[in-house]
Structure 1
Amino acid sequence: MIREYQTKDLDTIMSIWLKGNQQAHPFIDSQFFENNFELVKMLIPASTIFVQDIDGVRGFIGLMDNYISGLFVDEQYRRQHVGKALIAKAKQLHNQLNVLVYKQNTQAIAFYQSQGFQVVDQSLNEETNEPELLMTCIVNHTIKIGKCAL
């Protein structure tokens, strides 16, 4: 079940965030994420957060308007459509979604491409000095029934 973030979820999602970043970004010193842990923990309530909760939080997505500020899935639930379900929830709420992905994170790039995202720009992350890609997905909310569009 996808539901809105509750304060009780904070420790779990922060654990998923830290482990996920360290696993997905071996090209960045893990100390970088540890040093930013408290800042991110403080900023979490500023985003709109949705979690997949099936006997516990399996993953979460953070949105700041139409920007995906984070999408993380607990390691034991990856490749079980958790990320796909969280993206689907975000697509229900927005006509366009944007996300920045480190260029070396090829698994994330492939995942977002499978969800309809395209690379539209490249830049250098000033904090990590790593190249990152801006990916965008235009969401079509038109539902066609026969010849009618809703």
Structure 2
Amino acid sequence: MIREYRASDLDRIMAIWLQGNEQAHHFIDANFFKNNYELVKLLIPMSTVYVQDIDGTITGFIGLTENYISGLFVDSAYQHQGNGQALIAKAKQQHNELFAHVYVQNTAAIAFYQSQGFEIDSQSINEETNQPEYLMACRVEHNVKIGKCAL
């Protein structure tokens, strides 16, 4: 089930966040994520966060700042089971368009977002990591059954 974030979820969310970043971003020094851990921990409650809760275990989460996906992470043991897709679907229910930055070297994430109807909008350099990234965008057509990003 997907539900809204609770304060008691924070430690589990942060564990998934750190594991996911270290796994997906091998091209960035792992200390970068460890050094930003406390800052992200402060920022998470300021976002709109939905968690995938399976029988009391948080398996993933999506953080939204308005229509921007500030984070989408699924525990590695629960990937490729539809959890990320369900979290994106929840975000699509709430917004007419969605955006996300994805590192160019994170080809698995790019493929995932494209499978969910996102397209590459532009490319830039991330100022904190100096790594190239794409801005990916999805226009959501509500109440339409045809179309890549339809609900």
For Structure 1 versus Structure 2, the TM-score category normalised by the shorter chain is over 0.9
Q: In the aligned structure 2, how far is the partner of 1:141 from the partner of 1:133?
A: 25
Provide the identity percentage. 67
Which consecutive segments of 4 or more residues in structure 1 shift more than 3 A?
none
1:60 aligned partner:
61
- In structure 2, runs of 5+ residues without a counterpart are 146-151
Counterpart amino acid of 2:120? V
Query: CA shift at 1:143, angstroms?
Result: 4.0
TM-score by length of 2: 0.94
Aligned to 1:103: 104
AA partner of residue 132 (structure 2): P
> How far apart are residue 17 of structure 1 and its match?
0.1
CA distance in structure 2 between the aligned counterparts of 1:17 and 1:72, rounded to whole angstroms: 6
- Show the 5 A alignment for 1:21-60: 21-55=21-55, 56-60=57-61
In the other structure, the counterpart of 2:149 is: none
Count of equivalent residues: 144
1:83 aligns with 84
Specify the alignment match of 1:134 in structure 2: 135
- 1:2 Cα offset (Å): 0.3
In structure 1, the gaps of 5 or more residues are 145-150
| Root mean square deviation of aligned Cα | 0.8
Post-superposition CA distance 1:36-81 (Å, at most 9, x none): 0000000001100000001210000000000000000001000000
Amino acid at match of 1:36: N
In the alignment, the residues of structure 2 paired with residue 81 and residue 24 of structure 1 have an alpha-carbon distance, to the nearest angstrom, of: 18
Report the structure number with the largest CA radius of gyration.
1
Q: Displacement of 1:142 after TM fit?
A: 2.7
The two structures have a TM-score, normalised by structure 1, of 0.95
